[in-house]
C-alpha cells in the first residue's frame, strides 16, 4: 500500500464492510513510498475471503500480493509427529536403545508381563480410534478426511497431558470390524479413546471393548462432553441459587452426548431429565424409532411420562441442554421455563438458540459449544487413569473430574482456562485419587 495517511484505514473499512473480523496487523517492509503489511482476518467462508480480496484490490494505491490460509498451513504435514525420547548420539546409545542391549528388557517383560508398564511407553500411550462416521459438525466424511481431527486430538494430549496419542483409522462402518481391530492393536496402548463414531455403533463398540479389555476405554464424544457439561452446570446452578436435587432438565438430542450427559447428571443428583429426539420425548413404553439404548434411557429419565410436543415440554424446566441441531429453540420456549433458567445450547458450530435470544427470554446463565469444550476433560482424565494404571474410567472418576473443573474455575466463570496446564494436572490428580479410593 502507498505510504500515505488514511490508506490503512480504507483497507480495514473494506474488511469491515464484508463483515469480516480483523486480527493482528504487522508492518513487514517499508520504503520511501510504500508499506507491506500482514493483516490477519477471520472469515466464515471462502466467499468472504474472495470478497475481501476483491474489495481491497479495488482501492487505489493498494494491492494484495499474497493470501495464506493459516489453518491449512498449520496442518501441513500433520499436527503431530513421533520423536525419540532418548537422544542417540553415539554407538553406545544405539546399542542400548536397540540391539543388543534391548534384548535384556524384552526378556524381563517376557518373564514378568506386568513390568511392561515400567519398561515401555504403554504408561503414556493412547490410541485414538475412529471410523469417521460422526466428525465434529461434518458428519460421516470418512476416515482419511477425519485424520486432521484425530491429529489435533493427539496434539492436545501431548501439550496438556504429556501423552503420546496415535490416530487409528478403521475404514469400516461395521462395528464388529472396529471392535476386532481395536482388540488386535490394544496391546500397543495403555488406553483407548474412541472418537467421532456415530450412535448407536459407538455404544456397541465401547461396551464390547470395556468388557474384553483391562485398559481404560473412553468414548470422548459421550463422556468427555458429559464431564464438562456437569462441571459447567455445577457452577451455573450455584450462580442461580438453585439446588441440584430440585432441578428439572429438558434435553434435545438422544445420541452419544445426550445419553451420556443424562447418565452423569442423574448420578450427580439432578431431579429429572426429559430427553427429546427427532420423534419427540423419550418415555417408557414408546415404540417409534426406539433402540435398546433409548429404551435404557427411558428407564431412568422422564419420571412423569411426559409426552407433549417440544414447545410445551420447556414449561417448568430449570435447565435446557441442546446436543441436537441449530436453531431448534425459540425465545418463547425459554420464557416458559422456571425463573432464572440455565441454557446450554451446545450444538456446533451453531447452537439451538443464540445467546441474544436466550438472554432476552430470561436465561440467567448461557453457554454454547465453544465454551463447553470437552478438551477441558479428556487430557486430565486419561493422564490420571494412566498414572495409577487404572483398568477403566468410571462414572465416579468423571464426576471427580467435573467437580475439580468446577472448583478451580475463576469466580464468575463456569469453567477454568483450558490453556492452563495446571488445570489438566489437577484434573488428573482428582481422577487418580478417585480411582485409588475405589480400590481401598
Task: Give the pairing of strands 319-322 and 248-252.
Answer: parallel
Whether domain 221-440 has CATH 3.40.50.720: the reply is yes
- 432: Cα separation from own chain's centroid: 21
Please write the tens of the pLDDT for every residue from 113-153. 999 999 999 999 999 999 999 998 899 999 999 999 999 99
- Please identify which of the residues 42, 98, 243, 303 carries the catalytic annotation: 98
Q: Annotated catalytic, 317?
A: no
Distance CA 403, CA 411 (A): 15
pLDDT for 128 equals: 98
Distance CA 381, CA 429 (A): 9
Distance CA 274, CA 286 (A): 13
C-alpha dihedral, 263 to 379 to 74 to 141, nearest 10° = -30
b/e per residue 7-35 (b: at least 16 CB within 10 A)? bbebbeebbeebebeeeeeeeeeeeeeee
Distance CA 239, CA 415 (A): 13
Give the residue from 207, 222, 78, 213 showing the smallest Cα distance to 153.
78
What radius of gyration do the chain's Cα atoms show?
25
Q: Which helix (H) or strand (E) holds 36?
A: strand 35-42
Q: Are 344 and 232 in contact (CB under 8 A)?
A: yes
Strand partners, 139: 135
Q: Is the per-residue pLDDT at 233 higher than 90?
A: yes
pLDDT for 185 equals: 98
Q: Are 231 and 337 in contact (CB under 8 A)?
A: no
The CATH T-level fold of domain 7-70 is Alpha-Beta Plaits (3.30.70)
Question: What's the pLDDT band for 414 if we cut at 50, 70, 90?
Answer: very high
Please write the tens of the pLDDT for every residue from 198-221. 999 999 999 999 999 999 999 999
Q: Are 257 and 222 in contact (CB under 8 A)?
A: yes
Whole-number average pLDDT of the chain: 96
Longest dimension (CA), the chain: 80
Grid cell in block for residue 290: 426406539
pLDDT for 276 equals: 98
Contacts of residue 374, Cβ cutoff 8 Å, sequence gap at least 6? 220, 221, 224, 225, 227, 228
Q: Are 414 and 235 in contact (CB under 8 A)?
A: yes
Q: Are 153 and 195 in contact (CB under 8 A)?
A: yes
Grid cell in block for residue 22: 480483523
Helix (H), strand (E), coil (C) string for 360-374:
HCCCCEECCCCCCCH
pLDDT for 349 equals: 84
Q: Is the per-residue pLDDT at 385 higher than 90?
A: yes
pLDDT for 104 equals: 97
Backbone angles phi, psi at 192, to 5 degrees: -130, 125
Q: How many CA atoms lie within 13 A of 48 on its CB side?
A: 14
Please write the tens of the pLDDT for every residue from 341-362. 999 999 988 999 999 999 999 9
Q: Is the per-residue pLDDT at 275 higher than 90?
A: yes
Please write the tens of the pLDDT for every residue from 370-383. 999 999 999 999 99
DSSP string, 69-124: -HHHHHTTT-S-----SS---SHHHHHHHSTTTHHHHHHHHHH-GGGHHHHSGGGG
Within this chain, domains 7-70 and 221-440 share the same CATH topology:
no
Distance CA 370, CA 273 (A): 23
pLDDT for 136 equals: 84
Please write the tens of the pLDDT for every residue from 296-350. 999 999 999 999 999 999 999 999 999 999 999 999 999 999 999 999 999 988 9
Rounded (5°) CA angle 252-257-263: 90
Distance CA 167, CA 228 (A): 23
Please write the tens of the pLDDT for every residue from 71-102. 999 999 999 999 999 999 999 999 999 999 99
pLDDT for 120 equals: 97
CATH number of 120-215: 3.40.50.10380
Q: Is the per-residue pLDDT at 408 higher than 90?
A: yes
Strand partners, 350: none
Task: Give the pairing of strands 319-322 and 365-366.
Answer: unpaired
Q: Annotated catalytic, 303?
A: no
Contacts of residue 58, Cβ cutoff 8 Å, sequence gap at least 6? 14
Domain ranges for the chain, please list them: 7-70, 120-215, 221-440
- For residue 82, count CB atoms less than 10 angstroms from its CB and return exposed for 0-12, middle for 13-18, buried for 19 or more: exposed
Q: Are 357 and 379 in contact (CB under 8 A)?
A: no
Distance CA 196, CA 348 (A): 14
- Please identify which of the residues 153, 263, 294, 404 carries the catalytic annotation: 153
Give the residue from 423, 418, 247 showing the smallest Cα distance to 344.
247
Q: Are 398 and 381 in contact (CB under 8 A)?
A: yes
Helices (H) and strands (E) in the chain, counts: 18, 11
- What are the E-state strand segments in 172-257? 191-194, 217-219, 248-252
Amino acid at each position: 500500500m502507498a505510504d500515505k495517511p488514511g490508506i490503512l484505514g480504507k483497507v480495514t473499512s473494506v474488511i469491515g464492510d464484508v463483515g469480516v473480523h480483523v486480527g493482528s496487523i504487522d508492518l513487514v517492509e517499508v520504503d520511501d513510498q510504500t508499506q507491506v503489511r500482514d493483516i490477519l482476518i477471520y472469515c466464515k467462508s471462502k466467499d468472504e475471503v474472495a470478497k475481501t480480496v476483491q474489495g481491497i484490490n479495488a482501492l487505489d494505491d493498494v494491492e494484495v500480493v499474497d493470501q495464506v490460509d493459516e489453518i491449512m498451513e498449520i496442518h501441513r504435514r500433520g499436527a503431530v509427529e513421533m520423536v525419540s525420547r532418548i537422544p542417540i548420539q553415539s554407538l553406545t546409545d544405539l546399542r542400548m536403545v536397540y540391539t543388543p542391549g534391548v534384548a535384556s528388557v524384552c526378556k524381563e517383560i517376557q518373564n514378568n508381563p506386568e513390568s511392561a508398564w515400567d519398561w515401555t511407553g504403554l504408561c503414556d500411550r493412547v490410541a485414538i480410534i475412529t471410523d469417521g462416521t460422526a466428525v465434529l459438525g461434518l458428519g460421516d466424511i470418512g476416515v482419511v478426511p477425519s485424520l486432521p481431527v484425530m491429529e489435533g486430538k493427539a496434539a492436545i494430549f501431548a501439550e496438556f497431558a504429556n501423552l503420546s496419542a496415535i490416530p487409528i483409522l478403521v475404514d469400516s462402518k461395521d462395528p464388529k470390524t472396529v471392535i476386532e481391530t481395536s482388540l488386535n492393536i490394544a496391546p500397543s496402548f495403555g488406553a483407548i479413546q474412541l472418537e467421532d463414531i456415530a450412535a448407536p455403533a459407538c455404544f456397541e463398540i465401547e461396551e464390547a471393548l470395556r468388557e474384553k479389555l483391562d485398559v481404560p476405554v473412553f468414548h470422548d464424544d459421550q463422556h468427555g462432553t458429559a464431564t464438562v457439561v456437569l462441571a459447567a452446570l455445577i457452577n451455573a446452578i450455584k450462580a442461580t441459587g438453585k439446588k441440584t436435587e430440585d432441578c428439572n432438565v429438558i434435553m434435545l438430542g438422544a445420541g452419544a452426548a445426550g445419553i451420556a450427559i443424562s447418565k452423569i447428571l442423574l448420578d450427580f443428583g439432578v431431579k429429572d431429565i426429559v430427553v427429546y429426539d427427532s420423534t419427540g420425548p423419550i418415555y417408557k413404553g414408546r415404540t417409534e424409532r426406539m433402540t435398546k439404548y433409548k429404551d435404557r434411557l427411558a428407564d431412568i429419565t422422564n419420571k412423569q411420562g411426559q409426552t407433549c410436543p417440544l414447545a410445551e415440554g420447556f414449561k417448568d424446566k430449570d435447565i435446557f441442554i441442546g446436543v441436537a441441531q441449530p436453531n431448534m429453540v425459540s425465545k418463547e420456549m425459554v420464557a416458559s421455563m422456571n425463573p432464572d433458567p440455565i441454557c446450554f445450547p451446545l450444538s456446533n458450530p451453531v447452537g439451538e438458540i443464540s445467546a441474544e435470544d436466550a438472554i432476552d427470554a430470561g436465561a440467567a446463565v448461557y453457554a454454547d459449544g465453544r465454551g463447553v469444550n470437552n478438551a477441558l476433560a479428556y487430557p486430565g482424565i486419561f493422564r490420571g487413569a494412566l498414572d495409577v494404571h487404572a483398568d477403566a474410567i468410571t462414572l465416579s472418576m468423571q464426576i471427580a473430574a467435573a467437580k475439580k473443573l468446577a472448583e478451580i474455575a475463576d469466580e464468575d466463570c463456569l469453567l477454568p482456562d483450558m490453556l492452563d496446564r495446571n488445570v489438566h494436572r489437577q484434573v488428573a490428580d482428582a481422577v487418580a485419587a478417585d480411582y485409588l479410593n475405589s480400590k481401598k
